[in-house]
Amino acid sequence: MINLKIDNIPVSVPEGTTILEAAKSIGIKIPTLCYMKEINEIGACRVCVVEVKGARSLVAACVYPVNENMEVFTNTPAVRQARKTTIELILSNHNKSCLSCERNMNCELQALSYEYNCDCTAYPGALTPSEVDESTDYLVRDNSKCVLCRRCVATCKAIQHVAVIGTRNRGFLTDIGCAFEEDLASSSCAACGQCINVCPVGALKEKREIDKVRAAIQDKSKTVIVGTAPAVRAALGEEFGYPIGTNVEGQMVSALRLLGFDKVFDVNFTADLTILEESTEFIHRVQKGENLPLITSCSPGWIRFMEYYYPELIPNISTCKSPQQMFGAMVKTYYAEKMGIDPKDLYVVTIMPCVAKKFEKNREDQNASGYPDVDAVLTTRELAKMIKGNGILFNELANGEYDAPLGEYSGAGVIFGATGGVMEAALRTAVETITGKTLENVEFTEVRGTEGIKEATYTVGDLTVNVAVASGLENARALCEQIKNGTCKYQFIEIMGCPGGCVNGGGQPIQPAYVRRNTDVRALRASVLYNIDANSKVRKSHENAFIKKLYDEYLGEPASHKAHKILHTTYVKRNKY
């Protein structure tokens, strides 16, 4: 242990601890802008400087390790003045349009500027030239608000192993973007949106679709259907001041009604549908011994990554559309037929924790009815913004209930939003289908939790099934490499593009770095889904009464010809650059 004093308070911490962490241990938060533990420790922004007795100049607390008998001062006038100047300099090169900024009131730069009482006109001068990159369907980069913390770059590289963005140029002309001045659309970006979630400011955001949705709601000729993804209810509350890990499903349903959607359905039900199709696919592949391991297809971030980096695995990917696309497909075929509505007059909106879903809806081969399965995708953040913009008092809403019939779901459907959830849901159905016996314990806890890669072995009848679950593209890559070099022992793999799964998706409410560092946001949000599951009467997809009815009335049986036409899709090899 190292003994030192911080602001005259004795502290004892393990060797190798940084000043930043040592200060946190006695309740002092040293401000940071570029720091992300283990991911981005570059000491570049200089917001975290502190005074160390005897040191020649101020030191960056985020990277400076403690020493025996060190004396640190975190709030002297010199320290405060230096931090203030740093923030004022950043503001001097910043497009300060807070009033309508996506991150207004949830911006790390704005908060610092307030805490240090900064004069945002202290250093008038030129602005680094920049253009807005709106080339993709899902993400907008506005470098006029970028503070060059490089958190997005580090995330894309170290967590997602994609590395399509980096710093360009030098000095005052430094900016972030793709190599060779290309735009994001010409890169092999996976569309995961993880870079958005780590950005301290409003330089990165989703491509906004709110206006399209508002226009559709106003259009009398359209029946506007909305469906919500599992993970949205576990995080939306954060935008309205609820603690992380609050389930706001009921209020969300009420808010969607007030927004004017004609029907409020739940994408959870197509999660159940996915399970029936996918577990059937799994059983068929095991019986034939072909195209194993079977790899899940619900995460478009993962799918896009695979298409760019591991197209040779296309035969292994489940041909099931994602729950979002199955949802749109069912609305525009089954529901349209049942209600006697022409699918051209149906407008399907999904609420997603994800930005890759915006890209996914525009994929080819996603139009079962002849019209696009899904017309618009809003992120959890966009939904919150719409609710606020419509003057809906979210916190005062009573709990609403989903409309029938596309709102009924099992506990298996809802856990799709957490890493391991699809695997667990599929196992519940596959095991019962293979053995013909009722499961005594439906909880496959081995595949739960937020670790990057989880594995388990189950004995199902006379089969031994090895499964693996990966979330985050770094972990996805590790499993892909195993398959490529022949060392993969798994028959069934679940992969989610975002670390922790959709609860931590690129469209979820943004928590500042400080909160992410000190709170397990993913686990808290996932606990909402596991609680809903634990309290559900029906916990297996194949026992969802509506799903049974759907097959009886419409689809025939899982993997039938009709099911294939409506619920399955294909993939393409994509070239990098």
Partner 1 sequence: MVDIAKFFLEFTVDESCGKCTPCRLGNKRLLELLTKVTEGTATMEDLDTMEKLCYYIKENSLCGLGQTAPNPVLSTLRYFREEYEAHVKDKVCPAHVCKKLVRFEIDKDKCIGCGICARQCPASAIERTDYVAAGHKLASMAINQEKCVKCGACVGACKFHAIDKA
- Among 167-175, 210-218, 243-251, 391-399, which window interacts with partner 1 (CB under 8 A)? 167-175
Q: Binders of ligand SF4 among 104-133, rule CB under 6 A?
A: 104, 107, 109-110
Cα separation, 226 vs 321, in Å, equals 18
Q: How far is the CB of 147 from ligand SF4 (least distance, A)?
A: 4
Q: How far is the CB of 539 from partner 1 (least distance, A)?
A: 52
Q: Does 283 bind ligand SF4 (CB under 6 A)?
A: no
Distances (CA, A) of 391 to 209, 253, 365, 487, 509: 19, 16, 38, 56, 19
Q: Which does 409 bind (CB under 5 to 8 A by kind): ligand SF4, partner 1, none?
A: none
Q: Does 2 bind partner 1 (CB under 8 A)?
A: no
β-strand partners of 2: 13
Per DSSP bridges, beta strands 2-6 and 9-13 are: antiparallel
Q: Does 146 bind ligand SF4 (CB under 6 A)?
A: yes
Residue of 148, 195, 232, 330 that binds partner 1 (CB under 8 A): 148
Q: Does 191 bind ligand SF4 (CB under 6 A)?
A: yes
Closest to 573 (Cα-Cα) out of 373, 191, 303, 186: 303
Residue 63: count other Cβ atoms within 10 Å of its Cβ: 15
- CB nearer ligand SF4, residue 70 or residue 178: 178
Q: Which does 140 bind (CB under 5 to 8 A by kind): partner 1, ligand SF4, none?
A: none
String of b and e for 171-189 (b: at least 16 CB within 10 Å)? eeeebbbbeeeeebeebbb
Cα separation, 196 vs 187, in Å, equals 17
Q: Does 555 bind ligand SF4 (CB under 6 A)?
A: no
CB neighbour list of residue 35: distance below 8 Å, 6 or more residues apart: 20, 41, 45, 48, 62, 513
Q: What is the SS3 assignment for 112? A: helix
The values of phi and psi at residue 255, to 5°, are -65, -40
Residue of 4, 30, 112, 152 that binds ligand SF4 (CB under 6 A): 152
**CA pseudo-torsion sign 40, 44, 46, 49:** positive
Residue of 24, 145, 263, 539 that binds ligand SF4 (CB under 6 A): 145
Residue of 67, 92, 511, 560 that binds partner 1 (CB under 8 A): 92
- Fill in the amino acid letter for 174: T
- Among 21-29, 194-202, 215-223, 271-279, which window interacts with ligand SF4 (CB under 6 A)? 194-202
Q: Which does 57 bind (CB under 5 to 8 A by kind): partner 1, ligand SF4, none?
A: partner 1
- CB nearer ligand SF4, residue 193 or residue 328: 193
Concatenating the DSSP letter of every residue in 338-405 gives HHT--GGGEEEEEEES-SHHHHHTTSTT--TTSS-S-SEEEEHHHHHHHHHHTT--GGGPPPP-PPSS
Distance of CA 563 to the CA centre of its chain: 28
Q: Does 43 bind partner 1 (CB under 8 A)?
A: yes
Q: How far is the CB of 107 from partner 1 (least distance, A)?
A: 17
Q: Does 60 bind ligand SF4 (CB under 6 A)?
A: no
Cα separation, 337 vs 104, in Å, equals 44
Residue 487: count other Cβ atoms within 10 Å of its Cβ: 8
- Among 79-87, 352-360, 520-528, 541-549, which window interacts with ligand SF4 (CB under 6 A)? 352-360
Are 380 and 509 within 8 A, CB to CB? yes
Q: Which does 255 bind (CB under 5 to 8 A by kind): ligand SF4, partner 1, none?
A: none
Residue carrying the six token digits 């099911």: 563
- Among 239-247, 265-273, 350-358, 525-533, which window interacts with ligand SF4 (CB under 6 A)? 350-358
- Among 146-154, 342-350, 393-401, 402-410, which window interacts with ligand SF4 (CB under 6 A)? 146-154
Q: Does 45 bind partner 1 (CB under 8 A)?
A: yes
Distances (CA, A) of 212 to 336, 347, 349, 376, 378: 22, 11, 10, 7, 10
Are 336 and 566 within 8 A, CB to CB? no
Q: Does 194 bind ligand SF4 (CB under 6 A)?
A: yes
- Among 14-22, 232-240, 296-304, 512-520, which window interacts with ligand SF4 (CB under 6 A)? 296-304
Q: Which does 167 bind (CB under 5 to 8 A by kind): ligand SF4, partner 1, none?
A: partner 1
Q: Does 169 bind partner 1 (CB under 8 A)?
A: yes
Q: How far is the CB of 159 from partner 1 (least distance, A)?
A: 21
Give the residues lining the site for partner 1 (CB under 8 A): 42-47, 49, 57-58, 60, 81-82, 85-86, 89-90, 92-93, 123, 125-126, 148, 167, 169-174
Give the residues lining the site for ligand SF4 (CB under 6 A): 94, 96-98, 101, 103-104, 107, 109-110, 139, 145-152, 155-156, 160, 162, 164-165, 176, 189-195, 198-204, 299-302, 353-354, 356-357, 496-498, 501-502, 505-506
